[in-house]
Amino acid sequence: MMNDKLVFLGLLYFIQGIPYGLQSSLLPVYLRGAGHSLTRISLTKILYFPWVLKVIWAPLVDRTGTKRCWLVGTVAGLALTCLVSATISPDVQYMGVAGSLLTMNVLASVQDIAADGAAVRLLRGQGELGLGNTVQVVGYKAGSVFAGGGLLAVIDVAGWGWMFALLACVYGGVALFVWGAPVLDGESLWGQGEGRRGSKDVMQPWKVWRKLLSVPGTPWMMFYVLTYKLGEQGAITMFPLFLLDHHMTARELGLWNGVVAMAFSICGSSVGGFLLSQYSIGMLMRRVFMMRTVSMVFQSSLLVVLEPSPLMKGMAVLSLSLQHFIAGLITTLTFTTMMNCTQRAEESIQATHYSFLATLEVLGKLSFSALAGGMVDTVGFPVAFILFLFLTSSSALHVWRATETGVLKEQPKEQPQ
């Protein structure tokens, strides 16, 4: 039964990662190769905005219909969207591509709410929760690798239309699997007795808002999740495009940035979970954020090399791998810190509190990613990366101060003897 749950959740989170992989790794390289400006490419990040708004329609998904219906409906909708996308020519129909990606993000964000709700109900006990969360992270990143790396590596051969036809088949197969999944057979009993719970909060949202902001550590956490990824996101978005302009082909980027780098990100996330069981989160965050700053200095130094060479290509791959490993590690530490903060809230608003912080985290990443391309087009790669480095070092200082005198000092874990 546990294996059935893990397979079910793994498939859902795998297909949930596909739109992110398309938009973050495949589309920028493909559009750049088609001659689009960095500004236009960066503006596609705005299409992630449905993920920021999902907290608004989450109560609708929670309180109406069944999880099976929501999941089958959204996954089938993604299959239809891919079929429509297969008929689009991305070289000339930029707005058509944008509309397709926006639709995919809306459907995937609704699917995320339903999948998370199903996971909460299906997973029981510490062991199941740990395995389930591991499947969530690995499944999502594997889907991103499949779309952003694997498909990018073959798109020159298969073409845009056949690639989306393949995705439509994947989504269609998962929709059929979810429709017949036995793990959801008892879900009609999940929500009994809960229909009126939380209705008072819905009718008085200002009281919920006041409670959210009064949770200890929340103001610091809000600023942190909005800013901790700014410099990193700018570099992760723009450095592969610098390599495409000067050092690598689209197929090479698909391998190194889409597959290898994401594998390092998954390793970083896994290592973060292990380290959290051994050391205090404050000490880990202080050291890892300093490592990220040093990594950014190394990557920025590579921008002065414009002539392609095997040495430069090797240094670029090393930089990408290190960057994504540290990014995965920081993501695990950050979401654990968010959870620690949420646990200080009263039980009736803990889910809302965590969703609020998660929404801010997405908003912070998307807002800067959307502006990074225009910044590079205006001032060039070197000046833009100086700003990215400044933001990264400022975030490290913010964390360091919190570990000395602020929020992160309040929840230490004993180091092993």
For the chain, give every domain's residue range.
1-185, 205-407
DSSP annotation of 416 reads P
Give the C-alpha separation, 403 to 398, whole Å. Answer: 9
Residue 77's pLDDT is what?
Answer: 95
Residue 198's pLDDT is what?
Answer: 46
Fold identical between 1-185 and 205-407? yes
Give the C-alpha separation, 390 to 367, whole Å. Answer: 17
CA terminus-to-terminus distance, the chain: 38
Give the C-alpha separation, 364 to 292, whole Å. Answer: 18
What is the tens place of the pLDDT at every residue in 229-288? Answer: 989 988 988 888 888 887 788 778 877 886 788 789 888 877 876 787 778 888 888 999
CATH superfamily of the 205-407 domain: MFS general substrate transporter like domains (1.20.1250.20)
pTM for this model (two decimals): 0.68
> What's the rounded mean pLDDT across residues 304-319?
83
CATH code at 1-185: 1.20.1250.20
If one compares 253 and 391, the residue with the highest pLDDT of the two is 391
Residue 203's pLDDT is what?
Answer: 45
If one compares 73 and 41, the residue with the highest pLDDT of the two is 73
Give the lowest-confidence range in 161-175, 336-350, 366-380: 336-350
What is the tens place of the pLDDT at every residue in 178-193? Answer: 998 887 876 655 544 4
What is the tens place of the pLDDT at every residue in 79-93? Answer: 999 999 888 876 667
The answer, yes or no, to whether residue 122 has pLDDT greater than 80, is no
Q: What is the mean pLDDT of the chain?
A: 79
